[in-house]
Amino acid sequence: MNPLCSRCNKVVYPTEKVNCLDKYWHKGCFSCEVCKMTLNMKNYKGFEKKPYCNAHYPKTSFTSVADTPENLRLKQQSKMQSQVLYKEEFEKSKGKGFSVVADTPELMRLKKTQDQISNIKYHEEFEKSRMGGEAPPQQPPPQQNTTSAYQPPAATQNYHYEPEPVRQAAAAPPPSAGKRYRAVYDYVAADTDEVSFQDGDVIMDVQQIDEGWMYGRVERTGQIGMLPANYVEAI
Protein backbone atom coordinates (compact mmCIF):
# COMPACT_ATOMS: atom_id res chain seq x y z
CA MET A 1 0.00 0.00 0.00
CA ASN A 2 1.38 3.40 -0.98
CA PRO A 3 1.80 6.01 1.82
CA LEU A 4 0.14 9.39 2.00
CA CYS A 5 1.90 12.71 1.38
CA SER A 6 2.61 14.70 4.56
CA ARG A 7 1.66 17.94 2.79
CA CYS A 8 -1.48 17.18 0.73
CA ASN A 9 -2.47 13.86 2.36
CA LYS A 10 -2.78 12.20 -1.06
CA VAL A 11 -1.31 8.89 -2.16
CA VAL A 12 2.38 9.08 -3.07
CA TYR A 13 3.43 6.71 -5.86
CA PRO A 14 6.99 5.36 -6.07
CA THR A 15 7.90 7.44 -9.13
CA GLU A 16 7.26 10.75 -7.34
CA LYS A 17 8.01 9.74 -3.73
CA VAL A 18 10.48 11.66 -1.51
CA ASN A 19 11.33 10.03 1.81
CA CYS A 20 12.73 12.61 4.24
CA LEU A 21 12.29 13.70 7.88
CA ASP A 22 10.63 10.35 8.63
CA LYS A 23 7.79 11.27 6.26
CA TYR A 24 6.75 10.79 2.63
CA TRP A 25 6.25 13.70 0.19
CA HIS A 26 5.43 14.40 -3.40
CA LYS A 27 8.36 16.04 -5.13
CA GLY A 28 6.24 19.14 -5.64
CA CYS A 29 4.95 19.09 -2.04
CA PHE A 30 8.42 18.92 -0.51
CA SER A 31 8.68 22.71 -0.06
CA CYS A 32 9.54 25.33 2.57
CA GLU A 33 6.96 25.79 5.29
CA VAL A 34 7.17 29.58 4.96
CA CYS A 35 7.83 30.59 1.36
CA LYS A 36 6.67 27.31 -0.30
CA MET A 37 9.86 27.13 -2.39
CA THR A 38 10.37 23.64 -3.78
CA LEU A 39 13.26 21.89 -2.05
CA ASN A 40 15.42 18.84 -2.67
CA MET A 41 17.66 16.60 -0.62
CA LYS A 42 20.61 18.99 -0.98
CA ASN A 43 19.18 22.37 0.00
CA TYR A 44 16.56 21.60 2.65
CA LYS A 45 16.95 22.09 6.42
CA GLY A 46 14.78 20.21 8.84
CA PHE A 47 13.35 21.63 12.05
CA GLU A 48 10.85 19.66 14.17
CA LYS A 49 10.43 17.29 11.18
CA LYS A 50 9.39 20.11 8.85
CA PRO A 51 11.35 21.28 5.78
CA TYR A 52 12.66 24.87 5.52
CA CYS A 53 14.83 26.77 3.11
CA ASN A 54 18.06 28.37 4.26
CA ALA A 55 16.48 31.85 4.49
CA HIS A 56 13.52 30.82 6.64
CA TYR A 57 15.18 28.23 8.86
CA PRO A 58 14.12 29.05 12.48
CA LYS A 59 16.86 30.63 14.56
CA THR A 60 17.26 29.12 18.00
CA SER A 61 17.87 31.61 20.80
CA PHE A 62 18.38 31.33 24.51
CA THR A 63 15.93 32.85 26.94
CA SER A 64 16.91 34.47 30.21
CA VAL A 65 15.49 32.98 33.39
CA ALA A 66 14.22 35.45 35.97
CA ASP A 67 15.21 35.08 39.62
CA THR A 68 11.79 34.05 40.81
CA PRO A 69 11.29 32.98 44.45
CA GLU A 70 11.15 29.35 43.33
CA ASN A 71 14.43 29.64 41.41
CA LEU A 72 16.11 31.37 44.35
CA ARG A 73 14.90 28.61 46.66
CA LEU A 74 16.28 25.92 44.36
CA LYS A 75 19.57 27.79 44.10
CA GLN A 76 19.89 28.05 47.88
CA GLN A 77 18.99 24.38 48.28
CA SER A 78 21.65 23.33 45.77
CA LYS A 79 24.22 25.45 47.58
CA MET A 80 23.36 23.85 50.93
CA GLN A 81 23.62 20.36 49.40
CA SER A 82 27.04 21.22 48.02
CA GLN A 83 28.21 22.35 51.45
CA VAL A 84 26.89 19.16 53.05
CA LEU A 85 28.70 17.01 50.49
CA TYR A 86 31.90 19.00 51.02
CA LYS A 87 31.73 18.46 54.78
CA GLU A 88 31.12 14.74 54.28
CA GLU A 89 34.12 14.43 51.96
CA PHE A 90 36.24 16.43 54.39
CA GLU A 91 35.29 14.16 57.29
CA LYS A 92 36.05 11.07 55.22
CA SER A 93 39.47 12.35 54.18
CA LYS A 94 40.24 13.63 57.68
CA GLY A 95 42.96 11.64 59.39
CA LYS A 96 44.17 9.91 56.27
CA GLY A 97 47.38 11.93 56.24
CA PHE A 98 49.07 13.74 53.43
CA SER A 99 49.74 12.27 50.03
CA VAL A 100 53.30 11.57 48.99
CA VAL A 101 54.66 14.04 46.45
CA ALA A 102 57.24 12.73 44.01
CA ASP A 103 60.62 14.51 43.91
CA THR A 104 60.36 15.93 40.42
CA PRO A 105 63.28 17.97 39.01
CA GLU A 106 61.26 21.17 39.48
CA LEU A 107 60.54 20.40 43.16
CA MET A 108 64.20 19.49 43.75
CA ARG A 109 65.29 22.79 42.18
CA LEU A 110 62.90 24.75 44.41
CA LYS A 111 64.06 22.83 47.45
CA LYS A 112 67.71 23.64 46.73
CA THR A 113 66.83 27.30 46.19
CA GLN A 114 65.01 27.47 49.51
CA ASP A 115 67.96 25.83 51.28
CA GLN A 116 70.37 28.37 49.78
CA ILE A 117 68.12 31.28 50.74
CA SER A 118 67.87 29.87 54.27
CA ASN A 119 71.68 29.65 54.47
CA ILE A 120 72.00 33.26 53.31
CA LYS A 121 69.49 34.44 55.92
CA TYR A 122 71.31 32.39 58.56
CA HIS A 123 74.61 34.10 57.71
CA GLU A 124 72.95 37.52 57.89
CA GLU A 125 71.39 36.78 61.27
CA PHE A 126 74.64 35.31 62.56
CA GLU A 127 76.64 38.37 61.48
CA LYS A 128 74.10 40.68 63.12
CA SER A 129 74.22 38.69 66.37
CA ARG A 130 78.03 38.58 66.19
CA MET A 131 78.30 42.32 65.72
CA GLY A 132 75.88 42.83 68.58
CA GLY A 133 77.78 40.34 70.78
CA GLU A 134 81.12 42.11 70.46
CA ALA A 135 79.97 45.04 72.63
CA PRO A 136 79.81 43.22 76.02
CA PRO A 137 83.47 42.03 75.87
CA GLN A 138 84.53 45.70 75.58
CA GLN A 139 83.44 46.26 79.21
CA PRO A 140 86.34 46.03 81.68
CA PRO A 141 85.46 43.01 83.87
CA PRO A 142 89.17 42.35 84.69
CA GLN A 143 89.30 45.56 86.75
CA GLN A 144 86.74 44.16 89.19
CA ASN A 145 88.78 41.01 89.97
CA THR A 146 92.47 41.96 89.77
CA THR A 147 93.54 38.97 91.90
CA SER A 148 92.01 36.38 89.58
CA ALA A 149 94.55 37.18 86.88
CA TYR A 150 92.99 36.78 83.45
CA GLN A 151 90.38 34.11 84.08
CA PRO A 152 87.38 36.31 83.13
CA PRO A 153 89.07 37.49 79.91
CA ALA A 154 89.89 33.87 79.12
CA ALA A 155 86.22 32.94 79.52
CA THR A 156 85.16 35.83 77.33
CA GLN A 157 87.78 34.90 74.76
CA ASN A 158 86.50 31.32 74.64
CA TYR A 159 82.96 32.60 74.25
CA HIS A 160 84.09 35.02 71.56
CA TYR A 161 86.04 32.55 69.42
CA GLU A 162 83.86 29.44 69.74
CA PRO A 163 81.44 30.55 66.97
CA GLU A 164 84.29 31.14 64.51
CA PRO A 165 84.65 27.51 63.33
CA VAL A 166 80.85 27.21 63.03
CA ARG A 167 80.63 30.39 60.93
CA GLN A 168 83.49 29.32 58.68
CA ALA A 169 82.00 25.83 58.20
CA ALA A 170 78.57 27.24 57.36
CA ALA A 171 79.98 29.86 55.01
CA ALA A 172 82.33 27.47 53.22
CA PRO A 173 81.31 27.35 49.55
CA PRO A 174 80.77 24.07 47.74
CA PRO A 175 83.50 22.71 45.44
CA SER A 176 81.89 24.44 42.44
CA ALA A 177 82.02 27.90 44.10
CA GLY A 178 84.39 30.54 42.83
CA LYS A 179 83.67 29.97 39.14
CA ARG A 180 83.21 33.05 37.00
CA TYR A 181 80.84 33.29 34.06
CA ARG A 182 80.06 36.03 31.54
CA ALA A 183 76.51 36.79 30.36
CA VAL A 184 76.01 36.39 26.60
CA TYR A 185 72.38 37.59 26.58
CA ASP A 186 70.20 39.99 28.55
CA TYR A 187 67.92 38.32 31.09
CA VAL A 188 65.07 39.73 33.19
CA ALA A 189 64.18 37.84 36.38
CA ALA A 190 60.85 36.03 36.11
CA ASP A 191 60.61 35.22 39.84
CA THR A 192 61.76 36.60 43.19
CA ASP A 193 64.53 34.01 43.55
CA GLU A 194 66.11 34.90 40.18
CA VAL A 195 68.50 37.73 39.19
CA SER A 196 68.51 40.06 36.19
CA PHE A 197 71.65 40.84 34.20
CA GLN A 198 72.81 42.33 30.93
CA ASP A 199 74.99 41.06 28.12
CA GLY A 200 78.60 41.21 29.25
CA ASP A 201 77.94 41.15 33.03
CA VAL A 202 80.27 38.96 35.09
CA ILE A 203 78.61 36.37 37.35
CA MET A 204 80.64 35.50 40.47
CA ASP A 205 80.61 32.45 42.80
CA VAL A 206 78.55 30.36 40.37
CA GLN A 207 77.09 27.09 41.65
CA GLN A 208 75.55 24.50 39.32
CA ILE A 209 72.02 23.53 40.47
CA ASP A 210 70.99 21.31 37.56
CA GLU A 211 71.46 21.14 33.79
CA GLY A 212 69.36 24.23 33.15
CA TRP A 213 69.92 26.51 36.18
CA MET A 214 72.81 28.02 38.16
CA TYR A 215 73.14 30.10 41.32
CA GLY A 216 75.47 33.05 41.57
CA ARG A 217 76.06 36.77 42.22
CA VAL A 218 76.01 39.50 39.58
CA GLU A 219 79.21 41.51 40.03
CA ARG A 220 77.72 44.75 38.65
CA THR A 221 74.56 44.84 40.83
CA GLY A 222 75.51 42.57 43.73
CA GLN A 223 72.26 40.61 43.38
CA ILE A 224 72.34 36.93 44.36
CA GLY A 225 69.97 34.34 42.96
CA MET A 226 69.23 31.82 40.22
CA LEU A 227 69.98 32.29 36.53
CA PRO A 228 69.54 30.17 33.36
CA ALA A 229 72.66 28.24 32.41
CA ASN A 230 72.23 28.80 28.65
CA TYR A 231 72.47 32.59 29.07
CA VAL A 232 76.11 32.58 30.33
CA GLU A 233 79.49 31.12 29.36
CA ALA A 234 82.48 30.22 31.51
CA ILE A 235 85.38 32.68 31.64
Residue 73: φ, ψ to 5°: -65, -40
For residue 101, the model assigns a pLDDT of 60
Which pLDDT value is given to residue 99?
57
Bigger pLDDT: 190 vs 129: 190
| pLDDT band with cut points at 50, 70 and 90 for residue 168 | very low
**Cα 117–Cα 99–Cα 212 angle in degrees, nearest 5:** 40
Please report the beta strands in 163-201, taking only residues with DSSP state E, as ranges in sequence order: 179-183
At 74, the pLDDT band (50, 70, 90 cuts) reads confident
- Between 25 and 174, residue with greater pLDDT: 25
pLDDT digits (tens, 9 = 90+) for 106-146: 888 888 888 888 888 777 887 887 776 554 455 555 554 44
d(CA 101, CA 95): 18
pLDDT at 156: 46
| CB of 188 closer than 8 Å to CB of 195 | no
